[in-house]
Structure 1
Amino acid sequence: MAARMEDISGKLAAEHQAIELLVIAPSLSMVNELASMLRNAGIAVHPRQIQDLEQLTDTLSANCCDLILAVGDPDHSDIHATIGALRQSDSDAILIYLSELDDRANPVVEIIGQGVADIVNPDNKLHLQHVVRREYHNLMIRRQLEEARNELAATELRCTTLMECSHDAIAYVHDGMHIRANPVYLQLFGYIDEEELADVPLLDLIEPDELPKVKKFMRRLPSLADETPLDTQCRNTNGKSFQARMEFSPAHMDGEPCTQITIRDQGNT
């Protein structure tokens, strides 16, 4: 664990990323002391003191912070207000509570259950440094994952738009079953809409005599290059057969892996 945390710290230093740090504390000297302690451990921070709930709410609305260090008060009333403000905001900042609470005390379980990432005794500098590194690392992973999800959603939207406007017959298949198809594909095989095609196996659109060849080809798909073509005989809902060229390529639909199939009626080329 120690080696992993040192590796994380090294990555943060190498990337020259400074943690945008909010410190809820009664005095600026306390803020500077905490910032100095973290910097001495090789953790770059941009600290900012927060003195009241209104200032915290405004700062969270600007969405310009990574971690929040909240210095505990005797009756722990301020931490509940801080938790409430964080919950009501769109911020993904991580809240760490600095308090001398006994780990066995009921307030610890209650506060962590409400959304505090961890409770640290402010006198335990090594523990606080460890928690700051860990929570910032976890925050970066979550943000990168969210960014990847957004990029994937945007890519899928572009693919869907292109598919709908394409002059080629295009469908998406998962485990051999249709999950999406564009209007040209539906028309080619004689289906009214996607609902009618849903759960129809791809092999149902292949002439029976061609099935062994198509099955063998599909078993080899993972080892083949993208858009590998297959010439075969397909048939529509009326039983009419036509010569087709099928091209297969890996794709994603709704975040799940699937296969994109493009079919061209060779009789119309």
Structure 2
Amino acid sequence: MPSSRSSDNKTVHALMLDPSSNDAEQTLNILRNSGLAVRATQVVNEDELTDALARQSWDIFLAKESCPQLPVTKAQEIIQHSGRDIPAILISDDFNAAKVSEAFDNGFQSLIPEDDAHLLETHVHRELHHLEDRRRRKQAEAQLNEAEKRCELLLANSRDAIAYIHEGMHIYANKSYLELFGFTSWDELECMPIMDMIAPAHHESFKDFLRQQSRTPNEMPYDFVGVESNGTHFDGSLSLSKASYDGEACIQVLIALRGNDEQELQEKLKELSNVDALTGLATRELLLTNLTEVINNAANNELNAALAYIEVDQFDEWETKLGLKASDEIRLSVADWLMEVATEQDTIARIGDHTFALLRSETDKEDFKTVCDKLLQSFSERLIEANKQTISGTLSIGVCIINEQSPDAEQVVYDAHAAANRAETGGGNRVRIFEDAVDGVSTDKQQKEALRQIQEAMETGRAHLLFQPIVKLHGDSQEFFQVLLRIRDEKDEPVPVSQLFPVTQGT
């Protein structure tokens, strides 16, 4: 199999249309044996499919044609109507060219013969890889959009006069540029030729400068006499460079203002770099700086602190359904809510596309767990307005407790992220505290899954004790009992002892 299986290290949520539980389990075993950690939900009718789509997001849809209550074409129509990006694979005992074409027409990505396990495995891995590529592209587009907003913010706050021109006409100018030439609004300057900003005596030399720049671009300055809107002249120096504005190639014009306080400008840029352009929260960089300080305080003063890694469970679903503009509205709403519930000592940061963090100094494990439980309750009750729709959702929160033994800031964030992943794979809407045996990188994949089952069973009441009498045939008649720990999985099925206890003994 190809090495590009990007889904091997995380849980795959599979939605299965299959009338037979045994056949569905056999399909799951094929995928699990190929290295995928699969969690599946079986549906057999339209109501179950609709409920499953409303409950969570899915990574793959596997459909058998033999389901009498819900035709595969109807099921695929429901999924497509939901607006979800869920790759669909049809499994059929009728495999021929016409059937493949029909499956494609109905929106399926693949048609697999029922008896070809290898082909099923290959196509599932391929579709998961393509899905991850699409999600990464969407995330990259969001990050690009955020970077562009940051650039616009930097341009707007720059004390240097900066403008963009296309075919000699102004298409953008910042406030400093407008003020330099005596304009009060962009409307006065829009589409005005840059030649009108240069004194007539310098027109020829400026044209020569433009021709030279087109042949051998460089940032050598050009000294000129500028003309303000009221006709007043001033001496200036400009430089040109290639740029892009709104996806269109253009030229950036930069006019350095005399008497600039370079230190003040650098401080302004540093301040802006610490603030998320969309939400106004702290950036990841500022969080790491503050987190490093908190870790040092914990080491020197034995003061515990905690970091919460916060993810919105339904964000991908909302973004797919409501669009990118709505996703920004959701991020802003989450940021506003965090600022409402945070205390003055907290650092609130946006550290990912839809990932936030809350850093609190001077707290302990139990108090902070209570705080995070209250965050879950508060967010689940909050109504969010996005794209003219009212929605509500849940969070997955991973917590890393900071003490004198804590590693560096990056590792603390990574550990909190690992705990958040456990909260999300457990169904979301829950808080999980980082446990090295369960979340740590030193534990292999099989051990991690077994330890996760033990942890989840203890937290959800699925662990229980059995007492077995021990009777001595000779000697002391005192009563003895062997105590056995047993757990049940998410389906309330007993987990084999051999699957669990070698792991616990090894830790």
Matches of 2:156 and 2:69 in 1, distance apart? 57
Q: 2:40 aligns to what SS in structure 1? A: strand
Summarize the Cα distance change of 1:151–1:29 in structure 2 as closer, same or farther, 3 Å threshold. Answer: same
Deviation at 1:54? 2.6
Deviation at 1:232? 2.2
Match of 1:36 in 2: 29
Deviation at 1:250? 6.2
Matched AA of 1:184: S
**Which stretch shifts more, 115-124 or 183-192?**
183-192
Matched AA of 1:253: Y
Summarize the Cα distance change of 1:187–1:114 in structure 2 as closer, same or farther, 3 Å threshold. Answer: farther
Matches of 1:100 and 1:196 in 2, distance apart? 70
Summarize the Cα distance change of 1:210–1:44 in structure 2 as closer, same or farther, 3 Å threshold. Answer: same
Q: Residue 118 of structure 1 is aligned with which of 110, 114, 128? A: 110
Please tell me whether the aligned partners of residues 14 and 60 of structure 2 are also in contact (alpha carbons under 8 angstroms): yes
Matched AA of 1:230: P
Deviation at 1:147? 0.5
Match of 1:213 in 2: 209
| 1:184-199 equivalent positions in 2, closer than 5 A | 184-189=176-181, 194=186, 197=189
Q: 1:82 aligns to what SS in structure 2? A: helix
Deviation at 1:74? 6.9
**Which stretch shifts more, 249-258 or 61-70?**
249-258
Describe the superposition over 1:33-84 as per-residue Cα deviations: whole angstroms up to 9, x where unpaired.
Answer: 11211232x3313231222333322332344311111111278952122222
Match of 1:66 in 2: 59
Matches of 1:7 and 1:202 in 2, distance apart? 54
TM-score (norm 1): 0.75
Deviation at 1:149? 0.6
Summarize the Cα distance change of 1:235–1:21 in structure 2 as closer, same or farther, 3 Å threshold. Answer: same
Deviation at 1:243? 2.9
Please tell me whether the aligned partners of residues 170 and 191 of structure 2 are also in contact (alpha carbons under 8 angstroms): yes
Match of 1:27 in 2: 20
Matches of 2:260 and 2:3 in 1, distance apart? 60
Summarize the Cα distance change of 1:235–1:218 in structure 2 as closer, same or farther, 3 Å threshold. Answer: farther
**Structure of higher CA gyration radius:** 2
- Unaligned 5+ segments in structure 2 are 262-507
Q: 2:66 aligns to what SS in structure 1? A: coil
Give the alignment's Cα RMSD to 1 decimal: 3.4
Q: Residue 78 of structure 1 is aligned with which of 63, 67, 71? A: 71
Matches of 2:107 and 2:187 in 1, distance apart? 43
Summarize the Cα distance change of 1:49–1:194 in structure 2 as closer, same or farther, 3 Å threshold. Answer: same
Matched AA of 1:44: L
**Which stretch shifts more, 161-170 or 59-68?**
161-170
Please tell me whether the aligned partners of residues 17 and 67 of structure 2 are also in contact (alpha carbons under 8 angstroms): no
Please tell me whether the aligned partners of residues 95 and 112 of structure 2 are also in contact (alpha carbons under 8 angstroms): no
Matched AA of 1:8: S
What percentage of residue pairs aligned between the two structures are identical? 29
Summarize the Cα distance change of 1:200–1:139 in structure 2 as closer, same or farther, 3 Å threshold. Answer: farther
Matches of 1:241 and 1:217 in 2, distance apart? 25
Please tell me whether the aligned partners of residues 210 and 232 of structure 1 are also in contact (alpha carbons under 8 angstroms): no
Matches of 1:50 and 1:145 in 2, distance apart? 30
Matched AA of 1:232: D
Deviation at 1:146? 0.6
| 1:1-269 equivalent positions in 2, closer than 5 A | 6-9=2-5, 11-13=6-8, 16-40=9-33, 42-51=34-43, 52-73=45-66, 78-105=71-98, 108-173=100-165, 178-189=170-181, 194=186, 197=189, 202=194, 205-206=197-198, 207-208=202-203, 209-217=205-213, 219-221=215-217, 228=219, 230-233=221-224, 235-236=226-227, 241-247=233-239, 252-255=244-247, 258-266=250-258
Matches of 1:123 and 1:268 in 2, distance apart? 74
Matches of 1:101 and 1:202 in 2, distance apart? 69
Describe the superposition over 1:104-130 as per-residue Cα deviations: whole angstroms up to 9, x where unpaired.
Answer: 33x643442232112111212222122
Structure with bigger RCO (C-alpha 8 Å, 6+ apart):
1
State the number of aligned residues: 255
Deviation at 1:193? 5.6
Matches of 1:123 and 1:161 in 2, distance apart? 58
Matches of 1:73 and 1:239 in 2, distance apart? 82
Summarize the Cα distance change of 1:65–1:215 in structure 2 as closer, same or farther, 3 Å threshold. Answer: same
Summarize the Cα distance change of 1:72–1:248 in structure 2 as closer, same or farther, 3 Å threshold. Answer: farther
**Which stretch shifts more, 209-218 or 113-122?**
209-218
Q: 2:221 aligns to what SS in structure 1? A: strand
Matches of 2:68 and 2:42 in 1, distance apart? 19
Matches of 2:47 and 2:30 in 1, distance apart? 27
Q: 1:96 aligns to what SS in structure 2? A: strand
Describe the superposition over 1:163-213 as per-residue Cα deviations: whole angstroms up to 9, x where unpaired.
Answer: 334443222345665432224324434667656655556566453213323
Matched AA of 1:96: I
Q: 2:162 aligns to what SS in structure 1? A: strand
Matches of 1:12 and 1:157 in 2, distance apart? 32
Matches of 1:177 and 1:114 in 2, distance apart? 50
